[in-house]
Structure 1
Amino acid sequence: MPSTTHSQPSRRAVLAGLAAAPTGLAGLAAGSARDAPARATVATWNAYLGVDLFALFDARSLEDVRTIAGDLLADARHHPYAARAGAVADGIVAAEADAVALQEAARLRSIPRDSAADDATAADGTATGDTAADGETVADLLDLVVEALADRGRPYEVAAEAVTTDVRLPADTDDGRVDVGFTDRVALLVREGVDARDARSGRYDERLTFPLFGTDRSVTLRRGYCFVDATLDGAPVTLGSTHLESASSRVRERQAEELVDALPDGPVVVGADLNSGPGGPTAAYDAVTAELTDAHTAVRPDEPGDTCCQPSRLRNDRSRLSKRVDAVLSTDSAEPRAVERLGADPEDRVEATVDGEDVTVWPSDHAGVAATVDLPGAATPTPTSTARSTATGTPTGTASPSGTPAESPTAERTDAATGTATPTRTAPVTAPAETTDGTGTGFGPLAALAALVGGTVGRGRDGDGD
């Protein structure tokens, strides 16, 4: 069992004790519960799709893509998603998180296709919307994590989500040719009873677009964010979740700038996979932390706190984390008080059975991060949101409290913001192919596939080890 399930004093109780200890009897007599700042815990975790998309680097043609995509689909059918989602839920429960930012809350589908369908059309990577009803859902990490939390008696609600990239690839399987749908999402969960309202989301203007080999089609890879206003411990705060590009440092840096521009006023706490930070490229991290405080840097500046990345099969005994790219970030009015990693220790791994074999796997290729912050002020409670947001959201790069979309300033560069509503298609903007510098093994390799079909091939696979 993961170490996060071990019996231990409540994390909130420990924090409360530390905060009260220096006060003394005089301080206790002078103060009151109303004088204490509001305190909330926010976690962030990249859930990881769970199949080795780096295998797509071996493709040299669309025929190769069909074969490899079919193999990936077969691998996914045998992947221990439920066990991993349970381990992620254990970490969230142990951290007593009020809210959770998820990245790569992915959905993998097998979609029947007309035998006469054009492979190039099937592989068009432009976002096609929330297509959960299309075909068979092989895995949905967002649903699995939410279900695992409920099974542990800790129900959370999806307060906001955004579809970022929705790619369909042709695949050859034992049952014939299908399309494999890889849908990337960021999401925000809040524990049951938390007031959450005015959800909005968007996709960054900056994206990667590559032409498909031998066709007039292209693959577009998008990243994005979602926000929701909430009341935690009686105080108002805006929560955010975001995931920046892994495959291009230039795109990632511009997305970081867009994130900063999209931040609303007031206290804000964002859970992020920046694909940038100590131990790796830092330009995007530096751009974001020029405006937001990294909880780890504020609370544990002398500790590495690496969060990325375990090998793709997740079966290594010894942790391979070597970079700190995941962070809980906050504005000056939300002051970090404590921070910890989730799912980073060997005892956090979980047992599962795969094809009759007992295996032990990490919860994700990333470690999670949980931070406790002090929030100023208090708010009068308003009705609590109890369902997934259906707000359209704001345009990319804009965070409007009303959640009402405005016109895109440049139709060729900008989509309407996405939430659970259907994203609109946009004319692709071709970005030059770059050498892959991604840090993860999930949706980063889709950028490598785009580079492949665009004529640029890179290698970045890391192998399993102990």
Structure 2
Amino acid sequence: MKTRWIPIVALSLAGTMALPAWAEPVAAKPVEPQHLKVMTHNIYLGASLTPALTAQTTPALLTAVATIYAQVRATDFTVRAEGLAEEIKRERPDLIGLQEVTTWTTSGPGAGPSQDFLAILRQALARRGLHYAVAATSPATDVGPIPLVAPCASATVGACTLRLQDSDVVLVNERTPGLRWSTPRNGLYQARQSIPLPAPGVPPVQLVHGWASVEAKHHGVPFRFVTTHLETTQAPAVQRAQATEFLAGPAAGPGNVIAVGDFNSAADGSTTDTYQLLTSRFRDAWTRGPGLTCCQNSDLNNPAPQLTSRIDLVLLKGAASAKTARVVGANPFRATAPRYTSDHAGVAATIGWHRPAGPRK
């Protein structure tokens, strides 16, 4: 959803550590040709939105925008993308579902650089000789342009602006033998969290989430691959409603489905009941150990991992059967900030087919 702002208005945006930061992680084992490897990773928009979401006055919102953008720059995605690309190089997934694939666009004198996370990541992958096609995207929350008071070379409020565009993305490895894909689709959930703003006459911001999918065949076995990102636990009714839409929409049907994403519902049931709703229709690819994926500090500078919940999932339906699953990106990838590739760890799972799923061609 696109939201435009007048110049006076500001923003409401929507394990143990096994290795030191400089150590070389263990490479993933090669996947059998008949198996498929998938990955999910919320790559983090780069800042905590709390300052904007809790601001009570228009001046506080203006300050919050500057604070958020400063943290985006400090958690520099150009640096984090190198770690993510190395992670992908080690795992060699055939399909990847990414969440919080963000574009930050600035304008005005001295406003600082814009960042297109997808373009930056694709460049980092290309430098490693990796070839991933952008198979499907789902534009989600879109806020701005909004006033950015710092950095800005003008004292006029609105001379510099900031815009946030969030999306979910499906990447497909173009070099995977026997893998074909088609029919990209995307959709937005009607259930949305509404955030009121402390600015007279300005409507609430709608935090928009959605999904992206492709139809695929792996050595003749048909399946759908879909990625999604559900609302946080701060709006449990919205999250559950989105999960219901997900199950009735891109996850519906009798065929094979591999669904990945940041579902924002702890698998141990300690937050919302969305995980139980999802797993009433899907099988969780994760079967052993805590598998914690959330969350590091918002500045990505905590010395040791502090993941406490499992909310990033690979879910299976039909003939898809998990052979292995492991957490990736949970440890620091370097010794200085940003130490982590994201505030979330990802999950990589190897999938087989436990019974015939249709004619092989």
Common topology (TM > 0.5): yes
Structure-2 separation of matches of 1:46 and 1:74: 21
Find the partner of 1:330 among 303, 307, 316: 316
Q: How far does the alpha carbon of each residue in 1:348-376 deviate from its partner, in whole angstroms, 9 at most, with x for none? A: x225xxxxxx5451111000001111134
Distance verdict in 2 for CA 1:206–1:68, change over 3 Å: same
CA contact (8 A) 2:27 2:90 kept: no
1:257 maps to which residue?
Answer: 244
For 1:158, the aligned partner's letter is V
Shift, 1:144, TM fit = 2.0
TM-score, L = length of structure 2: 0.83
What SS class does the counterpart of residue 114 from structure 2 fall into? strand
2:343 maps to which residue?
Answer: 365
2:148 maps to which residue?
Answer: 171
CA contact (8 A) 2:282 2:317 kept: yes
- 1:206 equivalent in alignment to 2:188: no
Distance verdict in 2 for CA 1:72–1:230, change over 3 Å: same
Find the partner of 1:248 among 235, 253, 266: 235
- 1:146 equivalent in alignment to 2:136: no
Q: Quick check: 333-342 or 137-146, which moved more? A: 137-146
For 1:333, the aligned partner's letter is A
1:185 maps to which residue?
Answer: 167
For 1:40, the aligned partner's letter is L
Find the partner of 2:267 among 275, 278, 282: 278
Structure-1 separation of matches of 2:334 and 2:359: 40
Find the partner of 1:11 among 27, 30, 34: 30
- 1:68 equivalent in alignment to 2:64: yes
Structure-1 separation of matches of 2:91 and 2:28: 11
For 2:135, the aligned partner's letter is A
Q: Is there any run of 5+ residues in structure 2 with no aligned partner, and where?
A: 1-19
CA contact (8 A) 1:40 1:233 kept: no
Shift, 1:71, TM fit = 3.2
Structure-2 separation of matches of 1:179 and 1:195: 42
What SS class does the counterpart of residue 296 from structure 2 fall into? coil
Shift, 1:78, TM fit = 4.1
Distance verdict in 2 for CA 1:339–1:3, change over 3 Å: farther
Distance verdict in 2 for CA 1:316–1:77, change over 3 Å: closer
For 1:288, the aligned partner's letter is L
Larger Cα-atom Rg: 1
1:294 maps to which residue?
Answer: 284
1:456 maps to which residue?
Answer: none
CA contact (8 A) 1:235 1:377 kept: yes
Distance verdict in 2 for CA 1:211–1:6, change over 3 Å: closer
Q: How far does the alpha carbon of each residue in 1:44-69 deviate from its partner, in whole angstroms, 9 at most, with x for none? A: 00000112322325522112211221
2:3 maps to which residue?
Answer: none
Q: How far does the alpha carbon of each residue in 1:379-418 deviate from its partner, in whole angstroms, 9 at most, with x for none? A: 777xxxxxxxxxxxxxxxxxxxxxxxxxxxxxxxxxxxxx
- 1:350 equivalent in alignment to 2:322: no
Q: Quick check: 321-330 or 172-181, which moved more? A: 172-181
- 1:197 equivalent in alignment to 2:182: yes
Give the number of the structure whose residues are more often helix, by fraction: 1
Structure-1 separation of matches of 2:290 and 2:78: 30
Find the partner of 1:93 among 80, 86, 89: 89
Q: Is there any run of 5+ residues in structure 1 with no aligned partner, and where?
A: 17-32, 114-134, 352-357, 382-466
CA contact (8 A) 1:2 1:90 kept: no
Distance verdict in 2 for CA 1:72–1:282, change over 3 Å: closer
1:430 maps to which residue?
Answer: none
Shift, 1:268, TM fit = 0.8
For 2:344, the aligned partner's letter is H
Shift, 1:3, TM fit = 8.0
CA contact (8 A) 1:2 1:87 kept: no
1:107 maps to which residue?
Answer: 103
CA contact (8 A) 2:100 2:166 kept: yes
Q: How far does the alpha carbon of each residue in 1:215-255 deviate from its partner, in whole angstroms, 9 at most, with x for none? A: 14221111100110122344222110100001300000111
Shift, 1:9, TM fit = 6.6
What SS class does the counterpart of residue 286 from structure 2 fall into? helix
Structure-1 separation of matches of 2:208 and 2:265: 17
1:445 maps to which residue?
Answer: none
Give the number of the structure whose residues are more often strand, by fraction: 2
RMSD over equivalenced CA pairs, Å: 2.5
Shift, 1:342, TM fit = 0.5
Shift, 1:317, TM fit = 1.3
2:50 maps to which residue?
Answer: 54
Shift, 1:180, TM fit = 1.5
CA contact (8 A) 2:266 2:310 kept: yes
CA contact (8 A) 2:47 2:72 kept: yes
TM-score, L = length of structure 1: 0.65
CA contact (8 A) 2:256 2:357 kept: no
What SS class does the counterpart of residue 350 from structure 1 fall into? coil
Aligned-pair identity (%): 30
Structure-2 separation of matches of 1:222 and 1:254: 13
Structure-2 separation of matches of 1:156 and 1:276: 29
Distance verdict in 2 for CA 1:254–1:57, change over 3 Å: closer
Shift, 1:212, TM fit = 3.2
1:446 maps to which residue?
Answer: none
What SS class does the counterpart of residue 294 from structure 2 fall into? coil
CA contact (8 A) 1:293 1:331 kept: yes
CA contact (8 A) 1:267 1:333 kept: yes
Shift, 1:321, TM fit = 0.2
State the number of aligned residues.
325
